[in-house]
Structure 1
Amino acid sequence: MKLPVFWTETIADLQRFANALNRVRQTADLAAGLLGSLGSIRNQASVVATEDGTGRRYRAIRIPELMIVPPAARQLHPAKTKLERASLQIIYECYEKVEVATRLGGEHFDRIRRADFQVCVKGSVAFGNTSVAVEDHWRIDTHCFEGDSAEPHPWVHYQRGGHAQDQFAQTVGFLPGSCLEKAKFHAGANLCALMQTAPPRVPTPPMDPICAINFVIAQHDGAAWKKLWAIPEYDGVVRKVQEKLWVPYFNMVANGEQRKRLMPFFGAPSPGSS
């Protein structure tokens, strides 16, 4: 089945992007994973799905896990944590056609049905003879506009946590957790732990897989990121997708009426919102 131009170009850009990643040592494993996923991506993009309720047609790709450069081992909690690896999971869904009634401000931008990028960093820390597996999770994803939520969600936002973190927190031995119920401590010991809440959801520009991978590399390893931007092919493909998605986004941010669609916390609550 012949793919539409949008998906043909998207996959070609991913291949050029992966070839550039392969030229820097820190991102060679990521390049191998991305190149190895291209066949699956092409097959997934050949399938057209229909959205419940609206009948709109879309295509979706999912990349279960890409090994990505881990963050610098600075200011870690718990202290003395040894980082082991970092990974990125990708869900990217785009409509077949851009409908005038739902337009936000750009052809590529308006195609996005769902963009979900989940980062997981794994490590371990030892306390005496006991080793504890630790994980950090964050994500950038989209929130559709249908219906109002109790808290206003930006259309695209950064947020700590994610589904993988929820699963990790259910692991036997998770701390703090039920494994402490029969543990013994010195009398009068004061125990404490970090707590995480769902907010805040911080607005970000829209992401496709290339924008998201570039963003994660920049946050995790600035030196490797600078090496990549010195490669003309990397500069060209990342700049191309950023301009397609981000120029119309920032034009919308500058427009008072459109801004509230992207950032519903801008100004007063909408009439009828809970």
Structure 2
Amino acid sequence: MVFSLPDEMERMSAALRREPATQATADALDTNMGRFRSQWTKDRQMRGNQLPLPVPRNQGLHPNGCELQASYLDFQFEWKEEEGTPWRAEYQVRVEGYLDAGETLFDLQDHWRLDTDMYAPSRRTTVDGGNPSKEPHPLFHFQRGGHAQDAFSAADFLPAAPCNIAGVWRGLMQSPGPRIPVIPLDPVLAIDFCLSQNDGTIWRRLRNFPEYFDLVESAQARLWLPFFAQLQDQKFRRTWFGPSMLV
């Protein structure tokens, strides 16, 4: 499959400009387009940082009373023709907000990611320095957290030890799992997916534009139809689902 991902990103930017809520996303794509083209021409990779997204709707938020300010997408996508599927498809979403608790102001962040297990059994001979994971990692999977969360929680993070706030407090805890298998995304489909999760109303307005709809439909057919066809092969299923897959 030969395609020009930078051309697709230009089409995505033009479609996003039709919706006021995604103007900033389009601006970021245009600003980085030269770098995207250089990366793709050199080694069929594309990496982007701090791509602004509309903030999620104010629904089901924790802690109670918090306000959202911004949302960003970082991504790294790598295509290898001989693989038939992306070699790397990683997307990290960061949502920023705050909680005004009177005399105390809490800086808040949420993080989720679509990740690639670069050290899957089928890849250990080609990735230097990799150690097999203790828990089964699907090749492409959804997971909470990520590098941005590690950086955010490295300093002045509450709750954390040591802590000089007396008494017993309740807080939400996050563990690494579960790692849920997902369909691989290219950057076009990742932007579409993130928009759908952050604000379905904005996403539906975009999909009513023929140029946006056609772009996403084309990307799905290009990436997903061959992927679904390969799921008929047992070896491919085991590669995608990881060690948990037996059939």
Counterpart in the other structure of 1:233: 211
CA RMSD of aligned residues (A): 1.9
**Higher alpha-carbon deviation: 35-44 or 65-74:** 35-44
How far apart, CA to CA, are the structure 1 residues paired with 2:227 and 2:36? 26
Cross-structure match for 2:111? 137
Q: What residue is the counterpart of 1:170 in the other structure? A: 154
- Looking at structure 2, the residues matched to 125 and 244 of structure 1 have their Cα atoms a distance apart, in angstroms, of 43
Deviation at 1:5, TM superposition (A): 5.4
Tell me the CA shift for residue 240 of structure 1. 0.7
Match of 1:122 in 2: 96
Percent same amino acid at aligned positions? 35
Q: Which residue of 2 aligns with 1:94?
A: 79
Gaps of 5+ in 1: 48-57, 269-274
Q: Match of 1:266?
A: 245
Structure 2 CA distance, aligned partners of 1:178 and 1:190?
Answer: 14
Matches within 5 A, 1:176-187: 176-178=159-161, 180=163, 182-183=164-165, 185=166
In structure 2, the gaps of 5 or more residues are 125-131
Give the residue type in structure 1 aligned to 2:19. V
Distance 1:154 1:5 in 2: 26
Q: Which amino acid aligns with 1:195?
A: M
CA distance in 1, matches of 2:2, 2:50: 26
Name the TM-score, length of structure 2 as normaliser.
0.89
Shift of 1:151: 1.3
Aligned length: 236
In the alignment, what sits opposite 1:39? 34
TM-score by length of 1: 0.81
1:22 lines up with 2:28 in the alignment: no
- Mark the structure with the bigger radius of gyration: 1
Q: C-alpha displacement at 1:239, in angstroms?
A: 0.7
* Alignment-mate amino acid for residue 55 of structure 2: P
How big is the shift at 1:80?
0.5
Shift of 1:141: 1.7
State the SS of the aligned residue for 1:165.
Answer: helix
Are residue 213 (structure 1) and residue 196 (structure 2) matched? no
C-alpha displacement of 1:169? 0.6
Q: Residue 34 of structure 2 aligns to a residue in which SS?
A: helix
* 1:75 pairs with 2:53: no
More deviation, 250-259/34-43:
250-259
